[in-house]
Amino acid sequence: MLLKKKYIRVLVSFILGAFVLAGCEGEPYNGENSREVTGDAEILNFNMPENGEKIAVITFKDYGVVKAKLFANAAQKGTENFIGLAEMGYYDELIFHRIIPNFMNQGGDPRGNGTGGQSFWGDKFEGGIPEGLYHFSGALAYANSGSTSTNGSQFYIVNTPADYIYYGGYTGENGQTVYFENFEEANISLPENVKDKYKEVGGVPFLDGGYTVFGQVFEGLDVIREIAKAETDENDKPLTQVLMESVKIEDYQG
């Protein structure tokens, strides 16, 4: 399963306020943001929420409902920001303005074009790189403009199929697209158990170490993957609006 050529750009950034795939064309991703390998690592993404724990419930018009666990302990600031914005109705009636199949769906910008948004505290915030959270399929993370200190309201959800890993790639000197096919080619250093999990569930490992992952879809991942099929324009914006009717914070009841 190959990505369209325009998706070869391999670094995700938030340049000039717009979350785009850009930068370092002609140079392969070098794994500088990857976590150090020190044996098996703890993986938190797939821990189910406990009864009474706050979860995110996102209702997409014409698509369905998505439920996500929020990792208040591992990603404290990221979770506080998302809950605060959701409880004030910030995300209600906003669109997902950028959708790239086999990669991610992005929303959370009140301007609807990737140039707006702010945190719950009114400015950017530092979310850090939470330990134990990775860009597996269904992960929620914040867009940024080069570092996790520039997180705001915009977030994305990894939409890859379970049998697909996007390792990134680069454009060679002859202009041809080259896709990495494994962790070694992409020079992505991760613990073996994390690599094995990517092979099991899919995801985008080259983003690990550069973005604040704060949540994981545990119900409705089929909805996220269906949204990823939306027809888009040359800027990856859906031709038909993908609308978040509401984003609610609820107590998990099992």
**Virtual torsion, Cα 28, 29, 30, 34, nearest 10 deg:** -160
What pLDDT does 20 receive? 35
Whether 3 is in a domain gets the answer no
Asked if the structure places residue 234 within a domain, the reply is yes
Longest dimension (CA), the chain: 56
The number of distinct structural domains making up the chain is 1
Q: Calculate the CA 65 to chain-centre distance.
A: 18
Determine the pLDDT at residue 25: 25
CATH number for position 204: 2.40.100.10
Question: Per-residue pLDDT for the chain (254 aa), expressed as one digit of tens each?
Answer: 333 333 333 334 333 233 333 222 222 333 444 455 557 999 999 999 999 999 999 999 999 999 999 999 999 999 999 999 999 999 999 999 999 999 999 999 999 999 999 999 999 999 999 999 999 999 999 999 999 999 999 999 999 999 999 999 999 888 888 999 999 999 999 999 999 999 999 999 999 999 999 999 999 999 999 999 999 999 999 999 999 999 999 999 98
Residue numbers of the domain that contains 54: 50-168+177-251
Any domain includes 23? no
Residue 56 covered by a domain: yes
Q: How many CB atoms lie under 10 A from the CB of residue 40? A: 11
Asked whether residue 25 is assigned to any structural domain, the reply reads no
Report if residue 20 sits inside a domain.
no
Count CB atoms within 10 A of the CB of residue 160: 26
- Residue 173: both structure tokens together: 């000197």
Residue 131 lies in a domain: yes
Mind spelling out the 3-state secondary structure of 166-231?
A: CCCEEECCCCCEEECCCHHHHCCCCCHHHHHHHHHHCECHHHCCCCCEEEEEEECHHHHHHHCCCC
| Domain assignment of residue 27, yes or no | no
**pLDDT for res 177:** 83
Q: What pLDDT is recorded for position 85?
A: 98
